[in-house]
Amino acid sequence: MTISWYRPATQPRRVAVLSVHTSPLEQPGTGDAGGMNVYVSQTAVEMARRGVAVEVFTRATSSDQPPVVELAPGVLVRHVPAGPFEPLSRDELPAQLCAFTSGVLRAEAFHEPGYYDLIHSHYWLSGQVGWLARDRWGVPLVHTAHTLAKVKNAALADGDTPEPRTRVIGEEQVVAEADRLVVNTAVEAHQLIGLYGADPGAVRTVSPGVDLQRFRPGSQAAARAALGLPRDAVVLAFAGRIQPLKAPDVLLRAAAELVADDPTLRERLVVLVAGGPSGTGLEQPQALRELADSLGIGELTRFVPPQSGENLVHVYRAADVVAVPSYNESFGLVALEAQACGTPVVAAEVGGLPVAVRHGVSGLLVPSHRAGDWATALRSVALDAATHAEFARGAVRHASRFSWARTTDTLLEAYSEATAAFRDAALEVAV
C-alpha cells in the first residue's frame, strides 16, 4: 500500500460514499432500492449538517441523468457512467466495476491530493471499488455490507436463487481489507466474525435510525381515506420489494387462514401490499396476485406501487398491523418506520428484526414462516383491542430510541477510529 498523506484522527472534512448498484435518489420499495438507499441518504444529510461534505458515487442508469445532483446542502450524488444506460441486475454489475472504479478515480484526480478524507462503501460491489480507491488515495475504508451472501444462502426462501460464489469471495476480500466494518446489530457482528473471519477489533455496531419527524402517529381514519380504504376495515399491511426474500406470500397465506377460521372477517379484512418488483424491474409481481386469487382472497388484497414521503406514512398509519415476514433482514427499517407511526409490527424472528421489534412490547416476533403461526400472531395483535392498544404505545416508545442523528454520531466515531488506525499503520510503514 502506498501512503501519500494522512490526517489527524478528527472528524473528516469530506467523505466519498460508494453505492454502485443503487442510488440514494431512487424510490425505495422497487428494483434494488430499499433500506440501504434510506441509510445512505439519511446519514449523508446528517453528516452534512455537522459540516462534513459528502459525495455519493453511484452508477448512471440513464443518459438523462445529470453528472452531479445536489441531494441536500453539502451532499452531492455523482452519476458514474459504467456500462449501458439502463438498470442492470446485480449479477451483471461485477463486469462494470472496472469502468465504475475508473470514473471514481478520475473524479478524485481533478482535485488536490487528500481531497477525500475517508471512503465509506455500501454493499460488496462498492467494497471492491473502495478497496482500490483506498490504496490509491491513501485514506481509510469503512465498509457496510447490508446483507451477506453466506447468511442469505443459509435461509433461502422457496424459489429464491442462491448468491453466487463470486459474491462470497468478493465479500471475503472486502472484509479482509476494510479498516472498519460497520454492522447494524450484534448478530451481524457475530456473523461477520464467525462466517467471514473478520477482525473483531475492526467491527463496529451502528444501529440504523428512523426519521422521527416524518414517521409519527397520526389519524388512522385520514390515512385510510387517503388510500381509499374503509374506515372500519381490519388492515394488514406489507411494504417493500416484492421478492421471495421479503416473503409477502407468508402474509397472504396467513390472511387466508384468518378468513378460513372466521368467515365474517371477509367483510372487513384488507391485505395492503405496497411495493414493486425486485431486480431490474422486468419481473412483475403477477405471481403474488395469482396466489391471492388461488387462496380465495384476491378481492381482499390491494396492491399499490411503492410509496414515498407522506404516502408511505399513510400506509403505516392505515394499518392495524404491519407484517415483516422476511427470511433475512440485516435490520428492518420498515418495521422501525411503522412503529414510529404507532403501528404494531409482526415480524419474522430473523437477522436484525429482534432489535428493530421488541417482542411483546411493540409487536410480536414469529419464529417460523408457517401460515398458521403467522395467522395466530396477526390475530392476537390486530383483533384484540387491548393488545393492539398496548403494542401501539410500546411501538412509539421503542422507535423513539432510534434516530438518524444518533446513528450518524456513532458512525462518525467509527470514522475517527478508522482514521486513527489508518494513520498508525502508515506511521509503522514509514518507520
Q: How does pLDDT run across 140-191, given as a tens digit for each residue?
A: 999 999 999 999 998 887 777 899 999 999 999 999 999 999 999 999 999 9
Q: Within 10 A of 5 (CB to CB), how many other CB atoms are there? A: 10
Establish whether 231 is an annotated binding residue. no
Establish whether 134 is an annotated binding residue. no
Is the pLDDT assigned to residue 423 strictly greater than 60? yes
Q: What is the pLDDT of residue 243?
A: 85
Would you place residue 301 in the very low, low, confident or very high pLDDT band (cuts 50, 70, 90)? Answer: very high
Mean pLDDT over 303-315 rounds to 89
Long-range contact pairs involving 262-266 (C-beta distance under 8 Å, separation at least 24) = 265/234, 266/300
More confident position, 308 or 86:
86
Establish whether 37 is an annotated binding residue. yes
Name which of 222, 262, 231 is nearest 378 in CA terms.
Answer: 262
Is the pLDDT assigned to residue 128 strictly greater than 60? yes
Q: Fill in the amino acid letter for 181.
A: L
Mean pLDDT over 204-232 rounds to 96
Is the pLDDT assigned to residue 2 strictly greater than 90? no
* 422 neighbors 6 (Cβ within 8 angstroms): yes
Establish whether 90 is an annotated binding residue. yes
End-to-end CA distance of the chain: 14
What mean pLDDT is reported for the chain? 91
Q: What is the pLDDT of residue 431?
A: 56
Tens-digit pLDDT profile for residues 311-361: 999 999 999 999 999 998 988 999 999 999 999 999 999 999 999 999 999
More confident position, 35 or 85:
85
Would you place residue 137 in the very low, low, confident or very high pLDDT band (cuts 50, 70, 90)? Answer: very high
Establish whether 123 is an annotated binding residue. yes
Q: Fill in the amino acid letter for 19.
A: S
Establish whether 343 is an annotated binding residue. yes
Within 8 A by CB and 6+ apart from 378, the residues are: 236, 254, 255, 258, 321, 323, 346
Q: Within 10 A of 226 (CB to CB), how many other CB atoms are there? A: 16
Tens-digit pLDDT profile for residues 246-290: 999 999 999 999 999 999 999 999 999 998 776 444 344 688 999
More confident position, 25 or 340:
340
Q: Measuring CA to CA, how many Å separate 428 from each of 3, 175, 202, 302? A: 11, 22, 18, 61
Establish whether 35 is an annotated binding residue. yes
Establish whether 317 is an annotated binding residue. yes
Residue 194's φ and ψ, nearest 5 degrees, are: -75, -40
Mean pLDDT over 65-75 rounds to 96
Q: How far apart are CA 389 and CA 399, in angstroms?
A: 16
Mean pLDDT over 381-390 rounds to 97
Read off the DSSP letter of residue 306. Answer: -
Mean pLDDT over 292-313 rounds to 92
Strands (E), 208-314: 234-239, 269-274, 301-304
Is the pLDDT assigned to residue 24 strictly greater than 90? no
Is the pLDDT assigned to residue 5 strictly greater than 70? no
Mean pLDDT over 367-378 rounds to 97
Q: How far apart are CA 346 and CA 219, in angstroms?
A: 21
Establish whether 283 is an annotated binding residue. no
Establish whether 319 is an annotated binding residue. yes
Q: How far apart are CA 426 and CA 100, in angstroms?
A: 27
Establish whether 246 is an annotated binding residue. yes
Name the strand (E) or helix (H) holding 69: strand 68-72
Residue 405's φ and ψ, nearest 5 degrees, are: -65, -45
Is the pLDDT assigned to residue 426 strictly greater than 60? yes
Establish whether 32 is an annotated binding residue. yes
Report the range of poorest mean pLDDT among 5-14, 258-267, 310-319, 421-430: 5-14
Would you place residue 29 in the very low, low, confident or very high pLDDT band (cuts 50, 70, 90)? Answer: low
What is the dihedral sign for C-alpha 410, 29, 348, 315?
positive
Q: What is the pLDDT of residue 241?
A: 85
Q: Fill in the amino acid letter for 134.
A: R
Give strand pairing partners of 75: 54, 72
Q: How far apart are CA 179 and CA 12, in angstroms?
A: 15
Establish whether 296 is an annotated binding residue. no
Establish whether 167 is an annotated binding residue. yes
| CA R_g for the chain | 22
pTM: 0.89
Establish whether 147 is an annotated binding residue. yes
Q: What is the pLDDT of residue 25?
A: 85
Q: Measuring CA to CA, how many Å separate 372 from each of 185, 255, 289, 379, 393? A: 29, 10, 21, 10, 27
Would you place residue 33 in the very low, low, confident or very high pLDDT band (cuts 50, 70, 90)? Answer: low
Establish whether 58 is an annotated binding residue. no
Q: Within 10 A of 101 (CB to CB), how many other CB atoms are there? A: 22
* 203 neighbors 183 (Cβ within 8 angstroms): yes
Q: How far is CA 125 from the centre of its chain?
A: 16
Cell numbers describing residue 350: 430473523
Would you place residue 59 in the very low, low, confident or very high pLDDT band (cuts 50, 70, 90)? Answer: very high
The number of residues making up the chain comes to 431
Q: How far apart are CA 322 and CA 399, in angstroms?
A: 14
Q: How far apart are CA 164 and CA 153, in angstroms?
A: 9
What domains appear along the chain, each with residue ranges and CATH number? Answer: 14-209+404-430 (3.40.50.2000), 220-399 (3.40.50.2000)
Mean pLDDT over 293-306 rounds to 95
